[in-house]
Structure 1
Amino acid sequence: MKNLIFAEFLGAGFLLIAVVGSGIMAETLADGNIALALLANAIATGCMLYCIITLFGPVSGAHFNPIVTLAFVLRGDMTTKRGAAFIAAQIFGAITGVLLTHAMFDQSLFQLSQTPRTGGPLWISEIFASFGLLLIVFGGLALNSKAIASMVALYITGAYWFTASTSFANPAVSIARALSDTFAGIYPAHVPLFILCQLIGMALALCVIRIIFDKNNNLNKGCDP
């Protein structure tokens, strides 16, 4: 089980390095062009997601996201003990990724973001982004598990642009980004409502998944190594 937990730790760390690192680089090079910076941030994140899901999927299932893991637990596809270990690894991995990114860009290791991200449009966006992500993950498992890496990477890349919140859709990512006062940051006091909205999106997705995909016998394959 240690290798599964370590895979989740590494995957979450790599993900945050992509999110925060590309944000810092994009903001530095885009010369104030926010659209260009966001595009670079989205592409880099999508590329990393494809790589780490492909790499770690056969090991741990490549969750890297507490709402994905919690969904598996609630569906009975993963034990509570393993789920708790995965979630802890994801959070600590994400924070470690942020600290390493700060070191790579010669920034103060410990920061608190001052970027406000709050309000109804952003909360609705997080509900929708999380709902869509879970639908992609479980729909992919049911219908075409080999395409999940591409589907998730493309979905998140697009969701950077079609959601007002730029699609965090991940509690571990939300927590870790609060610790970076950079392009990708979020003010710490605004994190709890983001996470609540992500959990609401997960709950809605589980209802829809049960209706649409549970008749497929492939849904549980590969979920819990």
Structure 2
Amino acid sequence: MTAAPGDQPIRDAATMILLRRTARESSVLMGMRGASAVFMPSKYVFPGGAVDAADAAAPLASPLDGLHRDRLLKEPRDVSPVPHAIAAAALRELAEETGLLIGRKDGPASTWPGYAETGLSPSASALQYVFRAITPPGRPRRFDAYFFVADAAEICGDPDDFGRACDELSHLHWVPLHQARALDLPFITEVVLAEIAELAGAVSHDTPLPQPDTVPFFDNRGHAPRFAQIA
């Protein structure tokens, strides 16, 4: 579907939700976009950003799980998305915006900042595809955003060390789930937080996160919004 005259084209984007679980509470990593940002200024968001052309060829130590790869291919726009590129973008944006890495030592060499210095190769096997949303028409930027969740236990190194982060997000910190919705959030982030709280509450903190039965999809390709569940 092409953009309407005067409307912005839709770009693929990837968002990473890191979930830190303890016996006491679950937290998510969030940061605040700058006041001068064109898209969602001064809002608290998860790390993420647009998929770059180079992400399709980025070397990964392990690919996205088959279930999530297959779900990413459903409900395409004009052409099918590239699951490898979307998962790679999520890992790259996480490294750039927070300095946190999810990877392994036994994979192909990576030139991404953080990974290159540590000898780690980014790994997508721990990522779960949990949400999708297309920005409505009329916004200054439009994205087809794919949201992934990963357990903070997958982070290589100190999860509180943001020393390698760029300056795109400020006030990076782990926010308890029960407090996160009190922040100044985009609407879609509020919806995603509710989904993540349900996912985290389905199991104890010391067991793996469950695979979601379906992926909620806020489809705003046209001027009439549509909600679907991707199975």
TM range (shorter): 0.3 to 0.5
TM-score normalised to structure 1 length: 0.33
Q: Indicate the structure with greater helix content.
A: 1
TM-score (norm 2): 0.32
More strand by share: 2
